[in-house]
Structure 1
């Protein structure tokens, strides 16, 4: 029997704060988490090799034949073909970046530096820094939309809604939409099971509103945004990921941002995503103890269980840890 094991490498620490509370594979990018993408592609469950303090909740499961896969790696067809061409005690690399290995057990994997190496030369996505989640979110959201809707029929949208390009919109069972404007010309719109989009919401694709999430009245979403499951959002949102079980339920702007799970943004909270001089945004990396360039636009990277007070103003490229309380002086 074969096992597929998603492995956190030492580079997981570059994904502070999101990898503090979960393996990298359980971070959301697009509609699915990285793990969900692999399990969909492999048609099989996966297990995890991660830090000791996370391993009780995310245990390793070995069999007689094991594929160890970089957990920050996004699957694609060419990559899967190359993965399954590996024989035992062989590894797949892209230059100096380890992608995958095949071997008998964890003990053998620990000695994989002696494995025969094959070079992977085709394009791939590796999530290396927190802002990579938003950098690749449009591509991954569109790919996930194709996967989740393949050979399926959307539930009908009632006539109270104002719809553009309906063939690029998919509504799951139990979702409620009334008096909503949806523009899917720029990208697909996915509305998950039992999600609620309240009247007056203005939304553009690409967009995913996952299971049991709520968009409140008058919400404006400008596209390239993922609202994870069981979240409540309002105000203005652009090019952002709300991982799940989090609230941004009131007015305020969120742009080019990643919000962890179980977070709450108080009423009027807004984040800046552009420097006044239009220069490159520099973001603090806790592992390397230095600032790294994140591109022209980068909002807040907020760790799980963090909260802001009402009318909190968050600077461009802010990074918070987990369980932080942010408030105005």
Structure 2
């Protein structure tokens, strides 16, 4: 983030930040054209803060850098962000977020904790979804490695790794070091498995046609539609794994 900030902002002038905000180390804060930030606290002492074009930081947000909010994305009221965090383009984010990447067009719009995690594109985390990022024993976190078909060590802290086009039900609670594949609809009682295969529908397999239809529905919410390339790619992945229709 620090290197990207220097590259993007070199020899450029930030837009003026509204006087309703409070800042620390304002020289490390860059606001792009069309961005709206009101009644929030931005602390760039620990790293730079970048607010992209037409992004919006609603009232009451608390932001510590390094942090990037990319073009067209929104932080909802009262969001708490700890660095190092990047929120991709056209996302909606809320609750508490720490040291995480949320890729483009994904939503974590409500309360809940997301820490030490990576979220793919076109994902949606239902209200109250949270993850653990450290074990109660403070021992090394193990994460599933699909190529090795085994759990491998991932350090002391690791949260949720969520593939593209996946969604969670409200109040979903993820265990430390959970890996979920692409096109998953995650719901059910208790903690989900620490490894959730591609095209999972709860504890069953997602029907391919329904998966593609649901993706299209979600894309329409952001003014887009599923493309032929996406359909071909996802279909190839589906059948390469020898998954049958549910």
TM bucket, shorter chain: 0.7 to 0.9
Paired residues of 1:212 and 1:229 also in contact (CA < 8 A): yes
**Cα displacement string for residues 5-52 of structure 1 (whole angstroms, at most 9, x for unaligned residues):** xxxxxxxxxxxxxxxxxxxxxxxxxxxxxxxxxxxxxxxxxxxxxxxx
Q: Aligned partners of 2:142, 2:29: CA distance in 1, in Å?
A: 36
Q: Aligned partners of 1:181, 1:327: CA distance in 2, in Å?
A: 35
Aligned to 1:129: none
**Cα displacement string for residues 51-85 of structure 1 (whole angstroms, at most 9, x for unaligned residues):** xxxxxxxxxxxxxxxxxxxxxxxxxxxxxxxxxxx
Q: Aligned partners of 1:328, 1:260: CA distance in 2, in Å?
A: 21
Aligned to 1:240: 100
Q: Aligned partners of 2:100, 2:115: CA distance in 1, in Å?
A: 6
Cα RMSD of the aligned pairs, angstroms, is 0.5
Aligned to 1:322: 182
Aligned to 2:149: 289
> Any unmatched runs of 5+ in structure 2?
190-246
1:280 paired to 2:140: yes
When normalised by structure 2's length, the TM-score is 0.76
Paired residues of 1:224 and 1:240 also in contact (CA < 8 A): yes
1:213 paired to 2:73: yes
What SS is found at the alignment partner of 2:178? coil
- The alignment of Structure 1 onto Structure 2 pairs a total of residues equal to 189
Q: Which has the larger radius of gyration?
A: 1
Paired residues of 1:313 and 1:328 also in contact (CA < 8 A): no
Paired residues of 1:311 and 1:328 also in contact (CA < 8 A): no
Paired residues of 1:178 and 1:199 also in contact (CA < 8 A): yes
When normalised by structure 1's length, the TM-score is 0.57
1:154 paired to 2:14: yes
Q: Aligned partners of 2:134, 2:142: CA distance in 1, in Å?
A: 11
Higher relative contact order (CA 8 A, sep 6+): 1
Aligned to 2:223: none
Q: Aligned partners of 1:204, 1:242: CA distance in 2, in Å?
A: 16
Q: Aligned partners of 1:277, 1:242: CA distance in 2, in Å?
A: 28
> Any unmatched runs of 5+ in structure 1?
1-140
What SS is found at the alignment partner of 1:203? strand
1:167 paired to 2:32: no
Paired residues of 1:232 and 1:248 also in contact (CA < 8 A): yes
Q: Runs ≥4 in structure 1, deviation > 2 angstroms?
A: none
